Structure 1
């Protein structure tokens, strides 16, 4: 090959639908000096055998928006390029065959309405009118999305490739990347058998090959290959080209029309991993040997749903490997381990639905250095140390695959590959009745069973089985004191001559304060969006201790490290420090019994950090709270955690053990925000009611200052508020907010307040002409919950202790 260029601005690796979509969108953004390299032929990896269903609804507004971009693109692509795409917007049906599933579907319909997506609830007969071949004896109801559809995967990929070429992008088939070149921690280029291409950025969209290829440059991409089968029938009478796609999750199957027949497949509870010892050399345009015995588990249910299937001819049982991930979401973004190396992979068999939007988002990320909007649910930085171990990734991924069509119970926990990361107090807490949850591999106590109770989660679409137990812990925090093991907190240490100035440049709050000061602060992007939400203690002239949420360890470390300047050193010390949070009105009395230090308000005011002695052990005590009560986070070396725990839990008046589900109910009553739900890169401190935490009255510059100043001067178009509803109403988040009968947003989080005795939700009230406090408070509100509207009250102040008397002790 002689026409391979020696330089390019970006190199895209992989010629499946995602790689071609990235190339297409980079071309549209003016990055015409982009090269796409495909090791064999376009679509020859897994794209060519994809089923091609395109559904849009997800639990995230932004991911739904991303999938909506796919639909918008597919509707016009054929006219743009002149190549057929097989796109049909024939709508999508989703069935519910029991009461719990029907509640889930009604909640999904509400989510769709919240995100501006048209979705209709149908009777069984109305669903059958759209899909006449199915029986409906067991159907309770159905949901219909008229803008869903289907496409031909190979055709749409070739059309994207042509669109990319029309924009100036060069595509080379039969050109494998043999090596990615890195120098001083940055991308320098790629090697191929036909020459080297020097480039600024590499975008790895190599499908199930991505994990191994990325690993050669130290980047972790947690995905594995799983066999996925579907059947293609001969023509069946009554199957028309306009038949909607059909999902029957209670029978674990999906269906679509193809050439007068049906394509149907499913997600079995016992999936089969593939290529455990590596993908065979030269594997392309290949499928696997059909496993009729394994597929047989679907047959009886499928025939019961579509009786015509019993007599239909079978063209093929197609068994194709697909890349799946541990949480069922795909993977996008710049790798935290390597600058200018981007990933788009792990699409969990919905790569066709995601391809158009994911390509758009990743192309913008490459071209502009940031995503077009918050993509946290699919951000590569949501993973951490456990995901570097392939056995862990495979075990968890098989569970996620098996749950693809099971009911998504509120607050449901994954069960596989546990326990993995354990606090030194794990055995003590388990013996005390802890029911554990898991985050980033950490076992964390969610709640504690009392006498006669079993420490087992019992899920429900109404109040869950742990509701009363959490209520006990909640009331103990308000009336006495609780002890919560929060060892899983991510903890960083920043040191160096320039530490104070470097940190103050990226923190919206002023951290350059006296030793022993404690600052709750956000870190913002240039648009003022909240990238991190954390607590920073100043321990010395050149030393800071940074605490953030368990699940944000990789993300926040990456954001801080990539924005630091000067002579500084950032280290992750999470595993070396245990954390016990002692919270409640009697917490000072309890702590004083085991510490000789002065814990009075005068000596140890709120918002300070001190090294104190507890049970003869050195403990870094942070006087801070996320539950709205007097209390301390006690940070200590892991080797003394048991000693401190046993001391605090001894004697009369000992605290009550509590877990993370009580933290959630307590923080909702106080209106404390949660990153990833109530706040994130799409929300500014002004919009989130956190402007008080921003150092605007100082002359100190910081990232995002100009954006915050502009909003303070000009106003905002959305504002976070708290809503309450009757205690019988179950709020989970994503319920639609109506103000004076008009849809104005959705709840970002929801739950129950055991002190106020009401259901509580938080969410943004939006209006294109601006949102003031008066606008929020002057409206009459309803919430749409499982497709029914209920009255709601609104407030901008905390429901509990709005003046912070309790926190200040």
Structure 2
């Protein structure tokens, strides 16, 4: 056994085998894969092996698409047949709303290059006569989809890894990780067979690794404890059954090729062929989480008892859709653990707070994701960044400070149940809520607030009817303009025409101070630092020159700064900031970082009448001029008093109107809420949710992190040269300049359908050529039509360029407009008073 390696991959399922293979393929010639049992002994061995391309996530869609293409090449490289059956995937719909979901998904598929076609019930019956099409609205069909043998594809990747120099050690259980400051010491035990069980033997091992990747599947909780982190990867029981041969299917196969994988999403099941019979895999209600605190030592390639009553409804629905299965007996059954996360996406990337420790955990569709995960994770490790933005899969998207085992288990059960529930783009799931709330939560709720979740924190999406039932938000969701749409329109108009207030308490907030703070931040961000009392918008870049984090920086003193970033990315931003400080403190001097996110609430007041509201409650020697341009100019910060509440006020507005962010002590939030509400009454002030704010910021072409801003584009590609100071040196500068401008961010006005707006995942065309994709979408109250932001090829980025955008499977006219089409000269936001 080796005692020192470049990279140690822990876990010998499909994910681990792929990671080891792709690290070696990327050029690392000293890689070891370690498995506590036998390869595929975890969930891999009992997986159904489906390769579903259907996914709403841009990153996950790329991962799945790579896997499908990669698996086709394995036999030629390794000589092992992975059992890949390209039979197609027919995803059926019983309702128009389900078809709307498929049309929205198709937008993502189109931008990634996944082929699909829509079929009518008559076309389904013509191609596959065993399917009962009664009650169907139609289907989406993926001709390149299918299934694979999980054990075979894992062994093929393992062989490919060995051929590239990877060493694989079986029956090696990791018991401890220790970071030395330069590498990891990984200690463990050689496992032995005893009475049919796998138990620790007397022999120990120790291996040093510069990098470690954990791909431990069902054992993720044990891994998390050893690393001292929290990881919401907990398995849920998944059942599937195998039938005896179906005579009708056997007869069909005499004259036809293999039947496609069938999915009846509204009935919550998938079905595929298996040796003349069928495999039925349901996603039922009530499937329990398991192994919340670790896998028992006695559990190996084992299964749980089948609970047929739990899946009776789905079984009967299969018989309804494939009538020939009614007389077919059951041949085999499986009920095994499949790992989930609260949002269904895996945890892929650097571990929180740790160096050179990489996670690849929480895969509910592990066979589909294995190939692509290995490919893109290897890029992150070897090259510094992947070619696609992997932030949506980052392990730090679930907060270490608030995420618990109970939360993860209950949310994972919900996620399992939601595999086939309609995935509305305005979806907000209900389990474990409310969890994190600001003091004004109950006040907002009594005003009709319908909440979304940001980093576990409840935030108003919009304010609905005051007498709404608890399920109003659920009933209001849609793939088109939902029941919430008019409320958001009214809120957006209030800010454009009068005054509105947005609760932005969820913002991430840090204080950075100390003798080295200025030099550090000057290197860490790409824009000039503001003068004391002023603010600046800036970006922290990756070493690859792409956008890692967006900051509003307020300079409080010469060596003290207040950093504000997106609320959804709290620990993602914090981890990067702290690690960067640790890397540079010896060079720049002492730097203190303080997380003050939960100490300060934020109300953002904006609109032409916002100054009028604040003038009524500000306490100042000359209240009439306290908020004037002379005393409080745009892009400045001041400490003011509103009634009895001390406020750190920042003159900036994400909505692009005259406005201020009012950063206040969190314990005084209700007092300030009531004060603002009373003062704003005569001006018909509205409380405004995140959806209206999202529309308004697009009218100003304000980029959003996670949409227009991310690790796949530089700030120059985001068309933000005014926020980049090329006269100084900063992190990622050389890499940014070397990349040039591969694509460019633009704002698009769209003459779309009367009952729908884009969601920010649609393809853009020039003639028949796909030239870009939307990254944001919505409705513009200023222009009375749909709006979106997009990345297009540079030659198509000029204002006035006519394009087409695909919405609900139709092409609609679109035109690239000037940057900041609403108030492009910023006259409104600078309004004096």
Same fold, judged at TM 0.5 (above): yes
CA contact (8 A) 2:636 2:651 kept: yes
Show the counterpart of 2:669. Answer: 641
> Which whole-Å deviations, capped at 9, do the CAs of 1:676-709 have from their partners, x for residues lacking one?
112211122222221111112xx31012322444
Separation in structure 1 between the aligned mates of residue 278 and residue 467 of structure 2, nearest angstrom: 52
Q: CA deviation at 1:719?
A: 3.7
Q: For residue 19 of structure 1, report the CA deviation from its aligned partner.
A: 0.5
Specify whether residues 710 and 213 from structure 1 end up closer, same or farther in structure 2 by C-alpha distance, changes over 3 A only.
Answer: closer
What is the total number of aligned residue pairs between the two structures?
Answer: 795
Query: 2:497, 2:607 within 8 Å by CA — same for their partners in 1?
Result: yes
Report deviation, 1:32.
2.5
So what's the TM-score if we normalise by structure 1?
0.95
Q: Using the alignment, how far apart are the partners of 1:545 and 1:186 within structure 2?
A: 34
Report the counterpart of residue 119 of structure 1 in structure 2.
116
1:378 and 2:378 equivalent? no
Listed one character per residue, the Cα deviations across residues 470-520 of structure 1 (whole Å, up to 9, x for unaligned) are 122111111221122211111111111110110111111111x32111011
How far has the Cα of 1:387 moved from its partner? Answer: 5.7
Per the TM alignment, residue 454 of structure 1 is displaced from its structure 2 partner at its CA by: 5.2
**How far, CA to CA, are the matches of 1:59 and 1:752 in structure 2?**
21
Residue 653 (structure 1) aligned to one of 682, 689, 703: 682
Structure 1 SS opposite 2:432: coil
Q: Is the 8 A contact 2:104 2:479 kept in 1?
A: no
Contact 1:181 1:191 in 2 (8 A): no
The answer to whether the 8 A contact 1:109-1:121 is kept is no
Q: 1:683 to 1:139 in 2, by over 3 A?
A: same
**Where do 1:126-205 residues align within 5 Å?**
126-184=123-181, 187-193=184-190, 194-205=204-215
**Is the CA contact 1:249–1:406 (under 8 Å) kept in the aligned structure 2?**
yes
Partner of 2:419: 404
Find 1:694's aligned residue among 719, 724, 727. 724
Equivalent residue number for residue 361 of structure 1: 376
Whole-Å separation in 2 of the counterparts to 1:9 and 1:688: 36
User: What is the RMSD of the two structures over their aligned residues, measured on CA atoms?
Assistant: 1.9
Residue pair 2:348, 2:394 contacting (<8 A) in 1 also: yes
Tell me the residue number matched to 1:499: 517
Per-residue CA deviations over 1:557-595 (Å, capped at 9, x if unaligned) read 122222232221222111111111111111112112222
Distance in 2 of aligned mates of 1:69 and 1:100: 29
Aligned residue among 492, 515, 519 for 1:474: 492
| Greater CA drift, 375-384 or 17-26 | 375-384
Matched, 1:621 2:621: no
Query: Which secondary structure state, in structure 2, belongs to the residue aligned with residue 118 of structure 1?
Result: coil
1:257 aligned partner: 273
Matched, 1:437 2:467: no
Aligned mate of 2:823, from 780, 801, 807: 801
When structure 1 is superposed on structure 2, of 476-485 and 777-786 the one drifting more is: 777-786
Gap change, CA 1:604 and 1:613, over 3 Å in 2 = same
2:789 is equivalent to residue 752 of structure 1: no
Deviation at 1:192, TM superposition (A): 3.2
User: How far is the alpha carbon of 1:757 from its aligned partner?
Assistant: 1.1
| Matching of residue 35 in structure 1 with residue 59 in structure 2 | no
| Residues 1:421 and 2:436 aligned together | yes
- Give the whole-Å Cα distance in 1 for the aligned partners of 2:464 and 2:796: 45
- Secondary structure at the aligned position of 1:280 is classed as coil
Which stretch of the first structure deviates more once superposed, 444-453 or 96-105? 444-453
Preserved CA contact (<8 Å) 1:579 1:634? yes
Name the residue aligned to 1:324. 340
- 1:549 maps to 566
Per-residue deviation, 1:13: 0.7
Deviation at 1:371, TM superposition (A): 3.0
| C-alpha separation in 2, matches of 1:265 and 1:715 | 46
Q: For the structure 1 residues 772 and 132, does the alpha-carbon distance in structure 2 shift closer, same or farther, using more than 3 Å as the test?
A: closer
Tell whether the 8 Å contact from 2:618 to 2:640 is kept in structure 1 after alignment: yes
Checking the alignment, whether the CA contact within 8 Å between 1:687 and 1:720 is kept in structure 2 is no
Q: Which TM-score applies when normalising by structure 2?
A: 0.92
Aligned partner of 1:21 in structure 2 is 18
> Is the Cα–Cα contact under 8 Å of residues 175 and 226 in structure 2 kept in the other structure?
no
How far off is 1:754 after superposition? Answer: 2.0
CA deviation vs aligned residue, 1:61-89 (integer Å, no higher than 9, x gap): 33222212111211011121112211122
Superimposed CA distance per residue, residues 233-290 of structure 1 (whole angstroms, 9 cap, x where no aligned partner):
2222325462221211011111112222211111112222223454221311111111
CA-to-partner distance for each residue in 1:280-323, whole Å, 9 max, x for gaps? 21311111111111121212111001112111121112111111
Pair 1:235-2:245 in alignment: yes
What SS does structure 2 have at the residue aligned with 1:86?
coil
SS of corresponding position for 2:678: coil
Deviation at 1:102, TM superposition (A): 1.2
Q: How many Å apart are 1:543 and its aligned residue?
A: 0.9
Distance 1:371 1:181 in 2: 27
Question: Are the equivalent residues in 1 in contact too, given 2:500–2:605 (CA < 8 A)?
Answer: yes
Q: Which moved more, 1:76-85 or 1:222-231?
A: 76-85
Task: Please identify, of 645-654 and 73-82, the stretch whose mean Cα deviation from structure 2 is larger.
Answer: 645-654
| CA distance 1:178–1:53, change in 2 (3 Å) | same
**Aligned to 2:707, which of 677, 685, 696?**
677
Q: 8 Å contact 2:241–2:280 — kept in the other structure?
A: yes
- 1:721 offset after TM fit, Å? 3.0
Match of 1:562 in 2: 579
Deviations 1:419-446 (A, max 9, x none): 1111111122122222222121111112
Determine the structure 2 residue equivalent to 1:721. Answer: 747
Q: Any conservation in 2 of the 1:91–1:147 contact (CA below 8 Å)? A: yes
Q: Distance in 2 between matches of 1:402 and 1:290?
A: 17
1:461-610 matches, cutoff 5 A: 461-511=479-529, 513-564=530-581, 565-566=584-585, 567-597=590-620, 598-610=626-638
* d(CA) in 2 for partners of 1:478, 1:554: 33
Give the Å deviation of 1:452: 5.3
**Is the 8 Å Cα contact of residues 180 and 191 (structure 1) preserved in structure 2?**
no
- CA–CA distance in structure 2, aligned partners of residues 803 and 757 of structure 1: 20
Change (3 A) 1:370 1:214: farther
Residue of structure 2 aligned with 1:85, choices 82, 86, 96: 82
Deviation string for 1:109-142 (max 9, x for gaps)? 2332232221111122322344332111112111
Aligned pair partner of 1:771 in 795, 801, 809: 795
* SS of residue matched to 1:687: coil
CA contact (8 A) 1:386 1:392 kept: no
Report the counterpart of residue 732 of structure 1 in structure 2: 759
- 1:339 Cα shift? 0.7
Taking the TM superposition and a 5 Å limit, the aligned residue runs for 1:263-302 are 263-276=279-292, 278-302=294-318
- Greater shift after overlay, 603-612 or 101-110? 101-110
> Are the equivalent residues in 1 in contact too, given 2:240–2:281 (CA < 8 A)?
yes
1:710 Cα offset (Å): 4.7
- Gaps in structure 2 of 5+ consecutive residues: 191-203, 621-625
1:9 match: 6
Q: Alpha-carbon deviation of 1:755?
A: 2.7
Give the aligned partner of residue 48 of structure 2.
51
Instruction: Give SS of 2:92's match.
Output: strand
Deviates more, 1:178-187 or 1:661-670: 178-187
Q: CA deviation at 1:802?
A: 1.2
Q: Structure 1 residue 547: deviation in Å?
A: 0.7
Alignment partners' CA distance in 1, 2:297 and 2:486: 56
SS at match of 1:51: coil
Query: What displacement does 1:453 show?
Result: 5.1
Instruction: Give the C-alpha shift of residue 332 in structure 1.
Output: 0.3
CA deviations 1:195-218 (Å, max 9, x no partner) are: 100111111000011122122221
State the SS of the aligned residue for 1:805: coil
**Secondary structure, counterpart of 1:111 in structure 2:** helix
User: Hey, what does 1:223 align to over in structure 2?
Assistant: 233
1:46 Cα shift? 0.8
What residue is the counterpart of 1:248 in the other structure?
264
8 Å CA contact 1:186, 1:338 repeated in 2: no
- Distance in 2, matches of 1:716 and 1:288, equals 51
1:393 aligned to which of 404, 408, 433: 408
**Structure 1 gap segments, 5+ residues each:** none
Q: Taking structure 1 as reference, are residues 387 and 60 closer, same or farther at Cα in structure 2, changes over 3 Å only?
A: same
